[in-house]
Amino acid sequence: MSNEDRLRDGRGPRRWGSDVIVDAVNAHGLRYLTMNPGSSFRAIHDSIVNYGANSPRMIQCTHEKIAVGIAHGYAKVTGEPIGCIVHDTVGLMHATLGVYYAYVDRVPVMLFGGAGPMAYERRRPSIDWLHVTNVQGNLVRDYTKWDDQPASIGSVHESVARGYRIAVSEPQGPVYLAFDAAVQEDPLEADVEPPAVAANPIPSRLGADPAALAELADLLVDAERPVLVPGYAGRSPDAMDLLVELAELLGAAVVDTHIRLNFPSHHPLNATGTSALEDADVVVFLDVKDYGKPTMTLNKTDRTSQSRIAPDARVADLGLAHVATSSWSHDFMGMHRLDLQVTADTMVALPQLLALCRERVPAAPARREARARWRLAVGELHHRTREAWWAEAEKGWDNTPVTHARLASAVWNVVREHDWVLSAGTAKDWALRLWDFDRPYRHPGISLGTGTQYGISLGVALAHKGTGRLVVDLQPDGDLMYDLGSLWEAAYHELPLLVVMVNNRGYVGDWDHQERLAQMRGTPAENAFYGMELDNPAPDFAAVARSFGWHAEGPIDNPALVEEAVRRAARAVLTEGRPALVDVVCGHD
């Protein structure tokens, strides 16, 4: 019996303000509501379980940050928001890291909160005073698209409708709506019908200036060595086919940022990790926020960087990079020289750009031979680069602890036997190099900051639940240590998640910084472990996972044992319906 099957039917007529809130949430199709219990939304909780008959379906979490992370991961997969509700003030404080990363990652999250009681006479001594703030939205206003705190039950439907429209309109992002205890808990003085959602349609997408788009098409068709650099374009599953068609039409190389999965990894025009950028005469960014990371070389010791794009290359941008610039967060990234900037939603503009290029290519025969040579050169670059990756991967193949490349290869040998999804982590990019990413849903995008990956992976697994797909999380140990108690969620909600620990027993990203700094300053590099290791004692992730009902094995430091352990774990996920973890001890390579 599932946990939901244990619920008794408590449905009744609409009587309370919280019932109206549940109507508003359901009217906008929010299938799930993630939450960690909080008394400030006790009425909404009761109305979901009883009046709503667990619709939206409640996903109980052990921390508010994880609750937001699940909503984040789910939206990355589906393009649709789900709800997340947090306790007033202190619960929202716990959630803030998750909210910030949803904002940075342009993901729609409908974040709700309890508020108050705002009326003094309704507050319990001490606790309600400690948890009440005048305007809760101030906590997240700098990194949400909008916030609101409706003061009456009559305002609820409009507040939720506006919040939903804002969250899902491009560029997408989280919104926060707080509901006072009085709005939730007071009985209705008059009935409030469910909202007419059709009366508040989602605004149409932002289209391109026709003249600017035509200029971009001319630039691409006139190029001899074009390179496309896609970023958030792949948020839509339709983008991959469009980008393949555009690249093949133009003979263009594609350098994928992996912010979203934009292009098949084994396509011969995939030039990610190659020198194609240095040779390009035209570079076009497609919905990219950070121009620098995919196009610059970085000296990690002194923090200097240098562009890989030739000074005489033409550079253009198509996307929404400057539409949602924050005055608080510098996630707008560094500026880049541009010859042309076309503001538009790529899912509107890409089909139009493709049509314009189709019209122009037959009329530009002078570039045909040059593009053919470039197409051949890119294909050779692609082939040589992949061969070089495999050659590099074989170095230290039998090392103990396990290399990241050997780990990625062992996991690939298992997951390729199934319909699979890689959630966030990439084992220092080795999965991106060695695996065959052939379909849009294979990967919703690379991981963000530490303390976010596991929560997002839970959301990815929730989105794929019931599809028969195997969701794989290549999980760093430092990231999971933030959220170790949240292993419970995956077991309780029976999520199809296979966690393979990339366990290098430390915060290795920062460990590397300490070693570089020591080298630069002449201090002992061997001291870098201090304040960085997760060892002495080493966490036993498998033991913790088993205590929560997972199938779990490890720690494993023998590379020859990894593949079969992962195969057994995958079998447990797919046949037993429970999550599985394999703890693999990795080196610092």
Kindly report, residue by residue over 319-350, the tens digit of the pLDDT: 998 887 888 888 877 788 899 999 999 999 99
* Same domain as 565, residue 451: yes
Does 49 score more than 80 pLDDT? Answer: yes
* Same domain as 191, residue 253: no
C-alpha 196/C-alpha 514 separation (Å) is 58
β 304-307/296-299 pair status: antiparallel
pLDDT over 70 percentage in the chain: 99
| Residue 95 binned pLDDT confidence (cut-offs 50, 70, 90) | very high
- 389 lies in a domain? no
What is the total residue count of the chain?
A: 589
- 280 lies in a domain? yes
Last residue of a domain, one of 354, 382, 410: 382
Does 535 score more than 80 pLDDT? Answer: yes
Q: What is the CATH number of the domain that holds 324?
A: 3.40.50.1220
Does 566 score more than 70 pLDDT? Answer: yes
Q: Quick one: pLDDT at residue 360?
A: 93
- 387 lies in a domain? no
* Same domain as 332, residue 399: no
Q: What is the mean pLDDT of residues 127-155?
A: 91
C-alpha 259/C-alpha 287 separation (Å) is 10
- 205 lies in a domain? no
Crossing angle for the helix pair 239-250 and 346-360, nearest 10 degrees?
20
* Same domain as 13, residue 101: yes
Does 63 score more than 90 pLDDT? Answer: yes
Q: Quick one: pLDDT at residue 515?
A: 86
Does 399 score more than 70 pLDDT? Answer: yes
C-alpha 455/C-alpha 221 separation (Å) is 43
Q: Quick one: pLDDT at residue 332?
A: 78
pLDDT tens-place string over residues 476-517? 999 999 999 999 999 999 999 999 999 999 888 888 888 888
Look-up of token digits 């680069």:
385
Q: Quick one: pLDDT at residue 94?
A: 96
Longest distance between any two alpha carbons in the chain, whole Å: 81
* Same domain as 404, residue 546: yes
* Same domain as 166, residue 253: no
Q: Quick one: pLDDT at residue 519?
A: 87
* Same domain as 510, residue 371: no
Residue 422 β-bridge partners: 472
pTM for the whole thing? 0.95
- 204 lies in a domain? no
| Residue 1 binned pLDDT confidence (cut-offs 50, 70, 90) | low
- 431 lies in a domain? yes
* Same domain as 37, residue 119: yes
Last residue of a domain, one of 199, 218, 243: 199
On whether the CB atoms of residues 504 and 399 are closer than 8 A, the answer is no
* Same domain as 195, residue 214: no
* Same domain as 234, residue 150: no
Q: What is the CATH number of the domain that holds 557?
A: 3.40.50.970
Q: Which residues of 335-348 are buried (b: 16+ CB within 10 A; e: fewer)?
A: ebeeebbbbbbbbb
- 95 lies in a domain? yes
Q: What is the DSSP string of 434-485?
A: HS---SGGG------STTSHHHHHHHHHHHHTTTT-EEEEEEEHHHHHTTGG
- 105 lies in a domain? yes
Which structural domain range is residue 568 located in? 394-585
Crossing angle for the helix pair 404-415 and 368-393, nearest 10 degrees?
110
Average pLDDT, the chain: 93
| Residue 290 binned pLDDT confidence (cut-offs 50, 70, 90) | confident
Q: Quick one: pLDDT at residue 365?
A: 79
Does 65 score more than 90 pLDDT? Answer: yes
Q: Quick one: pLDDT at residue 114?
A: 92
* Same domain as 481, residue 337: no
Q: Quick one: pLDDT at residue 509?
A: 82
| Residue 178 binned pLDDT confidence (cut-offs 50, 70, 90) | very high
Q: Quick one: pLDDT at residue 14?
A: 94
Which has the minimum average pLDDT: 50-54, 368-372, 384-388, 451-455? Answer: 368-372
Q: What is the mean pLDDT of residues 527-547?
A: 93
Last residue of a domain, one of 382, 404, 427: 382
Q: What is the mean pLDDT of residues 165-183?
A: 96
* Same domain as 140, residue 233: no
Number of domains forming the structure of the chain? 3
| Residue 435 binned pLDDT confidence (cut-offs 50, 70, 90) | very high
